[in-house]
Amino acid sequence: MPFRTNRTTLTQYLIEERRRYPGASGDFNALILDVAMACKQISKAVAYGELAGLHGEHNAEEGGSINIQGEAQKKLDVLSNDLFIKTNEWGGHLLGMASEEMDDPLDIPEGYPKGRYLLVFDPLDGSSNIDVNVSVGSIFSILRAADDEPTPISHEAFLQPGSKQVAAGYALYGPSTMLILTVGNGVVGFTLDPTLGEFMLTHPNLTIPEDTQEFAINTSNSRFWEAPVKRYVDECLAGKTGPRGKDFNMRWIASMVAEAHRILMRGGVFMYPRDTKDPSKAGKLRLLYEANPVGMIMEQAGGRASTGHVPVLDVKPSGLHQRIGLVFGSKNEVERIERYHAEPQKSRDSEIPLFAERSLFRD
């Protein structure tokens, strides 16, 4: 197998970025490398799968099988969460961590030095697909803690809008393991070299096309959609003979990391809107662990991420596990969906609650 020896490693990339800020301490770079180490370990665990007895649900006798989201935890959910914690708690770069799998924030244990950053993560996104060998991933976000942040760490410390993120990324565990990263200077992609155990820069400048002919949405929920989303999807499905004048393809993987990666590679639009299926929930996706980091990546790659009304990165979180509706991907398509929400079309079925003129994302 031919190898290229002149590729940039993740460490080299971070050093070069740090040189742009002469006063930087190096803590931020070290934190990113710790996160990358956690992703390498998770990648190996995912690859072993049932060979290591890691498929199936977590045993309730070993700590509980339902997480704070009310979802059944897989064995790999629990293992991935533990790997993120153990790999990042000791380095002295963090003041605290928050995970989709934990009810409350986690303080850095006594005996370890404290840092000035906060790490937020979904340790294994798409884990419901693990048993059928579909690509899954890890999503992470890094925030800066307030200088006077008290300890033990509070929920409020993490309730920062996505625009305050200093870095975001995800790891994709697919045919190859990739790490996608933004530190606020565009988006880059690294591929794990299994021989060297190093992430190598393979995609130095990822950008999303502004236009697309591909969309992703769970159409099994179509009876619960509100009018703007139904209008958009109907127009796409109408193809060349419809108002859009072109044919669209539809994709749905049910693994957000895989969906985001496809869009980052070739464009598209992803929709997981708020609907009427469960009026008590403002959406399905988690603002801090999923929407914000993916939103930052999309915006940094020239795409757009929205609630349907405003950029998702402008939303001030109200809770650690807050859910939200999300649309992201090719800029022109996301802006079209926003226009449909801002100017809802009147419907002859307006007396039916499903098609009433309402905002997709309520305040």
Higher pLDDT, 188 or 7: 188
Q: What is the domain partition of the chain in residue ranges?
A: 10-203, 214-355
Residue bearing tokens 């502004």: 210
Structure token pair of residue 196: 């060297």
Contacts 24+ apart (CB under 8 A), 274-278: 274/226, 274/324, 274/325, 274/360, 274/361, 274/362, 275/221, 275/224, 275/225, 275/226, 275/229, 275/360, 276/224, 276/226, 276/353, 276/354, 277/221, 277/224
Q: State pLDDT tens for residues 87-132.
A: 999 999 999 999 999 999 999 999 999 999 999 999 999 888 888 8
- Average pLDDT on 47-57 reads 81
* Whole-number pLDDT of residue 335: 97
Q: Angle, to 10 degrees, between the axis of helix 27-48 and the axis of helix 10-18? A: 160
- CATH homologous superfamily of 10-203: Fructose-1,6-Bisphosphatase, subunit A, domain 1 (3.30.540.10)
The 10 Å CB-count burial string (b at 16+, else e) for 216-245 is bbeeeeeebbbbbbbbbbebbeeeeeeebe
Q: Cα torsion for 156, 138, 43, 259, to the nearest 10°?
A: 180
Q: State pLDDT tens for residues 54-74.
A: 777 766 555 556 665 666 678
Could you give the CA distance from residue 261 to residue 265 in angstroms, rounded to a whole number? 6
Q: Identity (one letter) of the amino acid at 215?
A: F
Let me know: does 124 contact 77? Beta carbons within 8 Å: yes
Q: Mean pLDDT score of the chain, rounded to an integer? A: 90
**pLDDT of 352 strictly over 50:** no
**pLDDT of 202 strictly over 60:** yes
The CATH code for residues 214-355 is 3.40.190.80
Pairing status of strand 249-251 against strand 214-216: parallel
**pLDDT of 147 strictly over 70:** yes
Region of poorest pLDDT, from 24-28, 167-171, 247-251: 24-28
